[in-house]
Amino acid sequence: MNKKISLGAALAMLVLVAATAVFITMAVSMQMFNTDSSEIGNRTENIAKITEIDKVVRDNYVGQIDEDKLTIGIADGYFKGLDDPHSYYLSADEYTDILNYRTGKSNEIGAYVTDNGDSGLYVYFVMSNSPASKAGMQDGDTITAISGRAIAEIGVEQATEELKSITQPVDITVMREGVELTLQINPEQFAYTTIEAIVMEDIGYIRIYDFIDSTSDQFIDAVETMLKQNVRGFIFDVRHNSGGTLSSVVDMIDRLCPAGDIVSKTDKNGVTTVMHKSDAKEVNLPMIVLVDEETASAAELFACALRDYDKAELVGVQTYGKGSMQELFPFKDGSAINLTTALYNPPKSPNYDGVGITPDHEVELNPAPANFYMMTENEDTQLQYALAYFMQQ
């Protein structure tokens, strides 16, 4: 049987439902924004400002508006307002490039190059099994032309970008010991090689160019191989290494260090959480880590963690000082943002963000090379210091 209620009761119920809805909306909003009313007011003013600017532009601008470029510009401008060089917007293509890079899969030629200061690109490391390697390119070559166009004509920056996006066979001209050669590069996807491993006078030298997902496997394989060769110590070179993925560096630290914390993070609320720990398996040999002013982020964590566990001494100069952690947040349209979400801390030492790490042995490159990547082994005073250190052991 249907029950009838009075008009007053119905109105009271509607008021109660409306009040509840408002309360829930406000609660959810406050929880989502996690901020006070003044900040919400500022945010509303910011949105109103953008809307006001947009209306004036659309009412008066004489040119054509490219909506895609406008969206990217607004997103870029937002991050400029944060004044954080490590937080930024990524277009869909840029986000895809980063994912490909981190997973070590790319359409690049597979060679690290640098401006040789003479209208060419000096090749300082050719990755194994890469298109460049298969074409016969070698360390020490100088690229002078791409598809018959001189590097001086293309420009060093543009030429470097072109070598990162080869999609069809291309002829590359190189100079090798005074002889001009033409190499045909056939593009294919390949696995990045990010380390170089050499035994120097019974010391294992491992240079780490980048930290990507595959770096840890390559590094650990090199360490195991050298241990079987009975090296009596290691030199790990992370100079001019700007960092990379945290997952790769923690695996490398884990192989070298005893059981204990590897890295923790401190979030925006000041809460510190241990992210990774190492097991008891370690390497008990003397170690040196070469560092410089461009050693940053994951490379700094690698160096600092080894020193925290008394595994290594650091040789070189003060490091860059990036101890912040970024996360990628993708969007439905394929774009993403790279956002600083925490500070990450080494096992025992204080966070080095904005400060850097002071080496145990401060050694300058003397004389300072015109190009770091083009100096010879004998000219490398930091490397020579590390080798001499082992000779005295």
CATH number at residue 117: 2.30.42.10
Are residues 177 and 311 both part of a single domain? no
Are residues 156 and 196 both part of a single domain? no
What confidence score (pLDDT) does residue 6 get? 38
Are residues 349 and 216 both part of a single domain? yes
Q: Do the beta carbons of residue 212 and residue 101 sit within 8 Å?
A: yes
CA-to-CA distance for 385 and 132, rounded, in angstroms? 33
Are residues 217 and 248 both part of a single domain? yes
* Structure confidence by residue, pLDDT tens digits, 124-146: 999 998 999 999 999 999 999 99
Are residues 117 and 172 both part of a single domain? yes
Q: Which of 13-17, 205-209, 344-348 has the lowest mean pLDDT?
A: 13-17
Q: Which of 152, 171, 189 is the C-terminal boundary of a domain?
A: 189
Q: Is the pLDDT of residue 34 over 90?
A: no
3-state secondary structure of 348: coil
What confidence score (pLDDT) does residue 41 get? 67
What confidence score (pLDDT) does residue 38 get? 61
Q: Which of 1-5, 249-253, 304-308 has the lowest mean pLDDT?
A: 1-5
Tokens standing for residue 239: 């100079």
Q: Is the pLDDT of residue 37 over 80?
A: no
Q: Which of 87-96, 157-166, 339-348 has the lowest mean pLDDT?
A: 157-166
CATH of the domain at 223: 3.90.226.10
Note whether residue 180 is domain-resident.
yes
What's this model's pTM, rounded to 2 decimal places? 0.86
What confidence score (pLDDT) does residue 259 get? 98
Note whether residue 24 is domain-resident.
no
What confidence score (pLDDT) does residue 26 get? 37
Quick one: what percent of the chain has pLDDT higher than 70?
A: 89
Residue 381: give the domain boundaries. Answer: 192-391
Q: Which of 134, 166, 189 is the C-terminal boundary of a domain?
A: 189
Buried (b) or exposed (e) across 165-197, using 16+ Cβ within 10 A? ebeeebebbbbeeeeeeebebebeebbbbbbbb
Are residues 133 and 153 both part of a single domain? yes
Are residues 220 and 140 both part of a single domain? no
Q: Which of 69-83, 356-370, 373-387 has the lowest mean pLDDT?
A: 69-83
What confidence score (pLDDT) does residue 393 get? 76
Note whether residue 207 is domain-resident.
yes
Note whether residue 285 is domain-resident.
yes
Measured CA distances, 209 to 16, 114, 357, 361 (Å): 64, 13, 19, 22
Are residues 163 and 284 both part of a single domain? no
Amino acid present at 192? Y
Are residues 132 and 147 both part of a single domain? yes
Are residues 180 and 207 both part of a single domain? no
CA-to-CA distance for 80 and 138, rounded, in angstroms? 41
What is the tally of structural domains in the chain? Answer: 2
Mean pLDDT of the 185-197 span: 91
Note whether residue 306 is domain-resident.
yes
Mean pLDDT of the 285-290 span: 98
Note whether residue 97 is domain-resident.
no
Q: Is the pLDDT of residue 27 over 90?
A: no
Are residues 197 and 297 both part of a single domain? yes
* Structure confidence by residue, pLDDT tens digits, 218-241: 999 999 999 999 999 999 999 999
Q: Which of 168, 189, 210 is the C-terminal boundary of a domain?
A: 189
Are residues 231 and 210 both part of a single domain? yes
Note whether residue 373 is domain-resident.
yes
CB atoms within 10 A of CB 49: 10
What confidence score (pLDDT) does residue 289 get? 98
The shares of helix, strand and coil residues in the chain, as percent rounded to the nearest 5, are 35, 25, 40
Note whether residue 17 is domain-resident.
no
